[in-house]
Structure 1
Amino acid sequence: MEKFQAAPPDSFCALLKDRIDLINIPFTERGSRLMVLRNEHSLAIRLAERWLKIDPRLSGYRFRPPLIENLVICDENEQPLPFTEVITYPHLIEIHTPKGEFVLTFVDPESLLLTLPPEKFGLRFTVHVNHGQTDRRGGVLHMLGDIRRNIAYTTDRPLAKNQITLQHPYEINVTLLFEAGPSSAMLFNITPRLGFNRYVPDPQRTLNEALQRWEEWFRAVPPVEGIYKAQYYYAWWIMRAGLISTRFYTTREAMVPSKPFYVGIWQWDAFFHALAYRHINSRLAQDQFRVLIDHQREDGMLPDAVHDEGTITHLDFPVDADVTKPPILGWAAWKLYESTHDQQFLKEIYDAIVHWNTWWFSQNDADGDGLCEYHHPYSSGLDDSPLWDEGMPVTSPDLNTYLYLQLEALAKIANVLNLDQDARHWQSQARSLLLRMIERLWDAQAGLFWPYREGKPVRILTPFSLFPLLTGNLPALIKTALVQHLTDSTEFWPAFPVPTVALSDPHYDPNQMWRGPTWINVNYLLIEGLERSGYPKLARDLRQRTLDLVNRNRDIVEYYHPETGNACDKAAHVFGWSAALFIDLVLQEQSNIPENPDTTTLSEIPRPS
C-alpha cells in the first residue's frame, strides 16, 4: 500500500488526533462490540458483551480477559518489536515499528483490517477459545459449546509460518511469519455467527471509507467553534462509538453508557442520550425510547436495563424488590417533540407513558399519602447514595418531581393530540402532586424538601432536596430558600458544583459515586430548574461551570471531583450521558437561550372549569 495521509489537516478526524488513548478510551466503531486497547507494545481486542453464561455477575464482563490479547509484532526471528510510535484517529490506528508502519481500521462492525508493510516480519497473539484450525490463508478459531465465539484471520500475503498451539483449555496461541512482498493486509473477523468474512478488501479504499463514515457523522452535527470545539466533537465521537447493533433483546440500535464499563441499555441513560441524538438524527433519538418500550411489562413498569440476553426488572440485592429507573420518559419525550414536531412519535408512545405513569402511582405508594416511594436503591439511579443507607422504601423529592414533570408532559402531549379530557386530567394530577409535595416534604425551618422513610425525614443534605425547583411552580419563599442552599459555598457551590452530597454533610465523599462527586445530569436538571423558576443568570452560571468542568478534562467521564474538577479515579470513561448533556449544554450556550424555549408552566395552562 502506498503511503497515505491519515486525515486531512482540516478534517474532524485530524481535530481528534490522539484523543483515543487505547488505555481508558478504546478504538471502536458504530455498532461494533469490538474494542481495541493497548498494553505498551501489544494490542488486545475486548468484547462489549455481558453473557451471563460465561460469568453470572452483572458486571463480570469487566473482569474477563480480552478475546484476543498480547498481539505483538515480531521480526523474522519471532522476537517482539517495540511500538516506536502509536497515533490514533477516530477511523484508524497507526503503529510504527522498526519493520515499518502498520495501520488498523474497521471494515465493518465485526471486521478489523491490519495493513502490512513489505518487509518480512511476524505476528503473535493469544485467543481465548478452545478450538482452532489453520489453512492456506490464515485460520479459523472457535469457542465450542454454549458460548459462540468465532474468529477468522485471513491474509493475502504468503505465510512462511502459520501455527496454532493449544496452551490451556481456553487459550490458543497463534504464530505467523509473513514472507517479504508487496504491501498487503490481514483481516480479523470476530463474530457470533456461523459464517465468516474472509474477503480481504483493498486497504486504501477501506481506510478512505472509514474516514468518510466518521467525517459524515461529524459534518451532520450542529457546528460549534470556540473553546469547547474539540471537546464537543470528541463528545460526538462518544455518541457514535457507543452505539451497538441490534442483537437478541437489544431490539434497536442503541447506545450503551460506556462500552468498557457498562454493557447494556440503561433506562434513564438512554433518554439522556436521546437529547443529543435529537440534534442529528430523530430516528436514532426515538429508538433510544423504543428499545425500552419494547420490553415494557404488562403492569406498565419499564426495565432497569436491557441486555442482549434479557432485561433487568428485579434484583435481590441490596434489597429484594423490582428495579427500574427514574420516570423521565415523558419529560424527555416532550423535548424530542420540541425539536422534531413529530406528532406520529407522540401517538406511538403516549399509551406507553400513561401505562408507565400508572405503574408508579398504583404500585409505589405503600403508605397511601399520594406521593411515590423508591422501593429499590437502584430505581433511583443513585445506587449508593446515603439516602438509602437506612433501608427502603423512601419517599424522595426527586422522584415526585420527576413524576410532576411527567404529568406536565402528558398534559402537553395530550393537548397536541387533541385529547382535551386527558390534558385536563394530567393538569389536575400535577397540581395535586405538587401541593402534596409541599405539604408533606417541605421543611420551612430547614428551607429544604426532605426524603422520608417510615414517616421520618432523612436529614442528609443532597441536591435532590432542591429538585422541586424543576416544577417552576413553587412559591417565592420556597424558591428563594432552595436557591440559597444551592449557592452556598459550604454546601453545593464549590469550584465545580453541584456535589451529590453537600460538602458540609458528614456523608460527603468527593470520590465515591453518588456520595459527593459532581454528575453532569444532576447539573443539567438543576440548570433547567433554575430557568423554569426564574433564575436565568444563575442557570447560565451553572451551565458555564459545568461546561468548563467537562472541558478541562481530556476524557468525558461518569463523575468528577467537585473541588478539584478532576475526573474521579473510579468513574467510567467515555461516558454517554455526560457526553450527550455536554453537547446539549454547548448548544444552549452557543444559542444563548434557555434550553427549553417553551417556558409554559401548569399555572399558565387554563384550569378546567
Structure 2
Amino acid sequence: MRAPFTLPSSRLLVFRAENGDGVRVHTAEYEKQLDECRVLDALVIRDAAGTALPITRVLPHEVEFGGGAATLVFDGIGALSLGAPEPGWSAEWTTPDGRAHLRALDPALRFAVSADRAVTVAASDAHADAAARSARIWQDWFAKCPLVREDLQAMTAFCWWVLGANIVSLPALQGARPVVPSKIGYVGLWQWDAYFIAIGLSHGDPELAREQLDLAFRFPTPAGQLPDVVHEEGVLASSDDLPAADRDRLRRAGSAIADPNAPVPLTKPPLSAWALRRVLEAAPATAEIRDWARRQLATIRRSQDWWFACSDLDGDGMPEYAHPYSSGLDDSPIFDGPLPTTAPDLGAYLVLQDLELARFADEDEDLDAGIHRDRAARTLGKLLDLWDADRGVFLARAAGEPVASDAITGLMPLLTGALPEPVVDALVAAMDDPQRYGTPWGLPTVAASDPDFSATRMWRGPVWINTNTLVAEGLENSGHPDRARELRERTVALVIHGGGPHEYFNPLTGQKAPTATTAFGWSAALFVDLAVRLSR
C-alpha cells in the first residue's frame, strides 16, 4: 500500500486493490500519474467456492494469497504470473474499459503487458521457474545491502529495496540502468536526484553509482549546461521543451532582467563535483576509475563555467536561477516574485563546487586549482551580500528585489565552511528556534512562523531528506560536527517514524505529507548514506 510490488527494470507496478480484495496493475511512465497508466483495475483469485482469497503476505519477489495457497510473481520484466495448485480455482480481473474476465488457474496464468498497456493472458506451466528467477534477482540485490547499526538495519534494507525497485530502462539510454526517483510519475533521470541516489548506491553497488553520474553528465549542451531530466523522449534542457501552458506561466514571471520571450535553460543545482567526490570515496581508486573521474571532471568544469557565463542575467557576478525547476525546490516561495531569482543556496553550491574542483585540481598536476579558489572567493563575497543581519537570515532576491520569505535556502551557505562566525552562530540559533526551524521533526523548508509556511505543501514547510542532509554537511563544514551528527540522527529517526523514505514529511507530525510520493529514490539513498555514516 505504501510501495508498489515491482521488479528491477520492470515498468509494471502492482498495488493492493482499494477494497482490499486482490490487486491492481499499472505501468510506470514519465510525468503520468497512476490513474493514467491503468492496466488491470482489479485482479482477484477465487477458490473453488468462489470466495476471494485475501492477500496475506508480500515479499520482494512474490505476493501471497490465502496464506501462500496462491502467489503472484514476475515472469520477466514485462509479465506477471499468477499460480495456484488447487483445482477449480480461478482468476477474475477487470480491464480499464470496464470489461470483466474470468479464467481457470490450471495451474497458472501469465499476464504479458505490451508498451501500449494491452494485456495478453495465456495458460502457463512455468510459474515456479518465474518465481525462482525473481527470487534470485532480489537475493543478488540484497546481498549488496550495506550492514549498518542494528537499529537502522531494517529501514536500510527497505531503502535498499527502493533503490533496486526504481531501476528502469529508458529508450534514450539503451543498455543503461538509471535509478529513477519513483516509478510513480518520476520515470526519468533528474540530474539532482541522480547525485543523491548515486551517493546512497555507492555504499553497496559503486559501479551502479558511477553509472548514475555517467548518465547525468552524458548530455551537456554545446555551452556546457547539464539538462534537468533525461526521459523517454530525450532530454529536458530548455523551456522550449515544456508544454505551452508552462511556457505561458514563465513569460508572465518575466522581468526587465529576463527576456520573457527568450528560451530559459532548465538544469539543476551545481552539486556534481560534491557528488563525484562522495562516490569516489566509496570505492578503491583504480587506474580505470581515476580515468573515468577525469572525464567526468571535464564535463563538470564546463558546467560550472556555464553558470557564470550564461546564468548571470544581471551581470553582477552572481548567477541566478532563471527558472524554479533549476533550483530543485520548484514550489518554494522564493520564486513567487519575478524571475530571475538570486538565491543563497545557489551561491553556496557554486562556492562548494569550485572548492571541490580546486581539491580535484590539487590531485592532478595538469589542472589549475587557483582559478577555482579565486572564483569561490568572489562568489562568497556576493553570497554574503545576501545576508540580512537584522533578521539573521540570508534572503533571496527576485529580479534584484529582496524576497521576505525565510526559506531553508538561507541555511545552505553553511556548506561553504567559510562564513563569518557571527553568521554561523545566527544560523545555528535559527535551527533551535521553534518559531523558525526548530520544529518537532526536523528542518522545515520554510520557517514555521513565515506567512508562506505550510506543513504539507511541497517545498513550503515539509521536511525533505536531501535538505536535511545538505544542512548537516554544512554544519560539519562550519565547525559544528556534533550538531551535524544530531541532525543526521533526527533525520533517520524521522524516516523510521514516518514509515519509510517518503518524498517529504510533515514537520509537526513526522508523517508522510498527503501529496508526497512513497518509496522515493533520494530519500531512500540518503537514508542509506546517513545510516552508514552514523554506524562508523
- Give me the TM-score of the superposition, normalised by structure 2: 0.90
Q: Which residue is equivalent to 1:334? A: 277
What is the deviation of 1:481? 1.7
What is the deviation of 1:502? 0.4
Aligned pair in 2 of structure 1 residues 178, 587: CA closer, same or farther (>3 Å)?
A: closer
Mapped partners of 1:540, 1:296: distance in 2: 36
Answer yes or no: is 1:395 the counterpart of 2:342: yes
Mapped partners of 1:487, 1:178: distance in 2: 61
Partner SS state of residue 472, structure 2: helix
What is the deviation of 1:250? 6.5
Q: Which residue is equivalent to 2:256? A: none
Q: Which residue is equivalent to 2:104? A: 177
- Out of 87, 90, 93, the position equivalent to 2:60 is 90
What is the deviation of 1:271? 0.8
Answer yes or no: is 1:222 the counterpart of 2:146: yes
Q: 1:200-219 alignment to 2 at 5 Å?
A: 200=124, 202-219=126-143
Partner SS state of residue 124, structure 1: strand
Q: 1:197-596 alignment to 2 at 5 Å?
A: 200=124, 202-249=126-173, 252-313=176-237, 314=239, 315=242, 316=247, 318-320=249-251, 321-340=264-283, 341=285, 342-421=289-368, 423-438=369-384, 440-591=385-536
Contact 1:275 1:332 survives alignment (8 Å): yes
Mapped partners of 1:251, 1:407: distance in 2: 33
Aligned pair in 2 of structure 1 residues 417, 127: CA closer, same or farther (>3 Å)?
A: farther
What is the deviation of 1:231? 0.9
Q: Which residue is equivalent to 1:37? A: 15
> Larger deviation: 336-345 or 464-473?
336-345
Partner SS state of residue 498, structure 2: coil
What is the deviation of 1:198? 7.8
Contact 2:84 2:105 survives alignment (8 Å): no
Mapped partners of 1:250, 1:199: distance in 2: 32
> Larger deviation: 284-293 or 466-475?
284-293
Mapped partners of 2:391, 2:163: distance in 1: 41
Mapped partners of 2:112, 2:522: distance in 1: 31
Answer yes or no: is 1:119 the counterpart of 2:97: no
Aligned pair in 2 of structure 1 residues 498, 104: CA closer, same or farther (>3 Å)?
A: same
Contact 2:26 2:39 survives alignment (8 Å): yes
Q: 1:49-60 alignment to 2 at 5 Å?
A: 49-50=29-30, 59-60=31-32
Mapped partners of 2:278, 2:114: distance in 1: 37
What is the deviation of 1:457? 1.5
Aligned pair in 2 of structure 1 residues 519, 71: CA closer, same or farther (>3 Å)?
A: same
Mapped partners of 1:76, 1:251: distance in 2: 45
Aligned pair in 2 of structure 1 residues 461, 251: CA closer, same or farther (>3 Å)?
A: farther
Which residue type is aligned with residue 526 of structure 1?
A: V
- Give me the TM-score of the superposition, normalised by structure 1: 0.79
- Out of 36, 39, 47, the position equivalent to 1:67 is 39
Q: Which residue is equivalent to 1:162? A: none
What is the deviation of 1:455? 2.6
Gaps of 5+ in 2: 252-263
Deviation string 1:516-573 (CA, Å, 9 cap, x unpaired) is 0111101000100000110011111111111111111223201111121111111111
Mapped partners of 1:126, 1:240: distance in 2: 29
Aligned pair in 2 of structure 1 residues 178, 494: CA closer, same or farther (>3 Å)?
A: closer
Partner SS state of residue 70, structure 1: strand
Partner SS state of residue 134, structure 2: helix
Q: Which residue is equivalent to 2:259? A: none
Aligned pair in 2 of structure 1 residues 349, 473: CA closer, same or farther (>3 Å)?
A: same
Mapped partners of 1:72, 1:339: distance in 2: 45
Report percent identity of matched pairs.
Answer: 35
Contact 2:34 2:185 survives alignment (8 Å): yes
Contact 1:249 1:309 survives alignment (8 Å): no
Partner SS state of residue 63, structure 1: helix
Larger radius of gyration: 1
The root-mean-square deviation of aligned C-alpha atoms, in Å, is: 2.4
Contact 1:116 1:186 survives alignment (8 Å): no
- Out of 99, 113, 131, the position equivalent to 1:190 is 113
What is the deviation of 1:503? 0.7
Contact 1:111 1:197 survives alignment (8 Å): no
Which residue type is aligned with residue 499 of structure 2?
A: R
Contact 2:170 2:231 survives alignment (8 Å): no
Q: 1:96-111 alignment to 2 at 5 Å?
A: 96=66, 101-111=69-79
Contact 1:518 1:561 survives alignment (8 Å): yes
What is the deviation of 1:499? 0.4
Which residue type is aligned with residue 540 of structure 1?
A: R
Contact 1:250 1:307 survives alignment (8 Å): no
Gaps of 5+ in 1: 1-22, 51-58, 129-167, 592-609
Structure with the larger RCO, 1 or 2 (CA within 8 Å, 6+ apart): 2
What is the deviation of 1:343? 1.1
Contact 1:250 1:306 survives alignment (8 Å): no
Which residue type is aligned with residue 269 of structure 2?
A: P
Deviation string 1:263-284 (CA, Å, 9 cap, x unpaired) is 2221101110000111112221
Q: Which residue is equivalent to 1:157? A: none
Mapped partners of 1:412, 1:201: distance in 2: 59
Aligned pair in 2 of structure 1 residues 577, 48: CA closer, same or farther (>3 Å)?
A: same
Which residue type is aligned with residue 379 of structure 2?
A: L
Partner SS state of residue 161, structure 2: helix
Mapped partners of 2:513, 2:273: distance in 1: 32
Which residue type is aligned with residue 189 of structure 2?
A: I
What is the deviation of 1:426? 1.1
- Structure having the larger proportion of residues in helix: 2
Mapped partners of 1:332, 1:513: distance in 2: 24
Mapped partners of 2:353, 2:87: distance in 1: 64
Mapped partners of 2:47, 2:72: distance in 1: 19
Contact 1:252 1:290 survives alignment (8 Å): no
Aligned pair in 2 of structure 1 residues 178, 428: CA closer, same or farther (>3 Å)?
A: closer
Q: 1:13-24 alignment to 2 at 5 Å?
A: 23-24=1-2
Deviation string 1:396-447 (CA, Å, 9 cap, x unpaired) is 01011111111112112222232242x2211211122112212x21222222
Partner SS state of residue 528, structure 1: helix
Deviation string 1:177-225 (CA, Å, 9 cap, x unpaired) is 356xxxx32222224399x998956443433332232222222222124
Mapped partners of 2:419, 2:215: distance in 1: 35
